[in-house]
Amino acid sequence: MRRAAIFYHFADKRALYEAVLRAAFGAFEPELPAVGPAGERLEAAIGAWVDFVGRRPTVARLILREAADARPGQQSGLAPIAGPLVGWFRELVAQGVRSGELDGTADPEQFISLMGAATVFHTAAMPSLTPGASLDPPTRQALELHKAAMLRVAHMVLGIRDPAPGVARAAHRA
């Protein structure tokens, strides 16, 4: 493929890169649960996030690249793509606080950052920091262990008062 063919469809390299980001993240949004108690929906979304990133280590590396290229006062190319997801989590945390499922002490932005960053770093960076470990791509068992750890952290940070019984059992086994 020639460069002219690419620029026929994309104004510049940044537009091409943003199209790649949209394609990479577009597959995640349909996995977000639309109904149910806030705690259960958060648990399902965290599980879906871990599975999504774990199956696509390249997505984790793209997020790290965006974070490394961040400039104060400039919006990341990831912001318009991740914005709806961040808004979904923010609103769900607010619903959980209103319903009494969550204790209301957690800052939604901090929670979103913690859940996203821990999984991204674990998937993108840990394979290079732990030579010989089978983390790239992660095994099903490694994904389940990470998911259980993220759920325990989410319960603690959000003060989830009545976790879903199946999820709570899985988190305690790991």
CB atoms within 10 A of CB 102: 26
Six token digits for residue 142: 């490694």
Average pLDDT, the chain: 82
* Lowest model confidence (mean pLDDT) among 24-38, 39-53, 64-78, 127-141: 127-141
Q: How many domains does the chain have?
A: 1
Q: What's the 3-state SS for the chain?
A: CCHHHHHHHCCCHHHHHHHHHHHHHHCCHHHCCCCCCHHHHHHHHHHHHHHHHHHCHHHHHHHHHHHHCCCCCCCCCCHHHHHHHHHHHHHHHHHHHHHCCCCCCCCHHHHHHHHHHHHHHHHHCHHHHCCCCCECCECHHHHHHHHHHHHHHHHHHHCCCCCCHHHHHHHHHC
Q: Could you tell me the pLDDT band of residue 17, with boundaries at 50, 70 and 90?
A: confident
Q: Which domain holds residue 92?
A: 3-173
What is the per-residue pLDDT for 51? 92
Q: What is the pLDDT of residue 171?
A: 43
CATH number, domain of 152, equals 1.10.357.10
Spatial CB neighbours of 167, under 8 Å, sequence gap ≥ 6: 40, 43, 47, 151
Mean pLDDT of 11-15: 82
Average pLDDT, integer, range 75-84? 83
pLDDT value of residue 161: 60
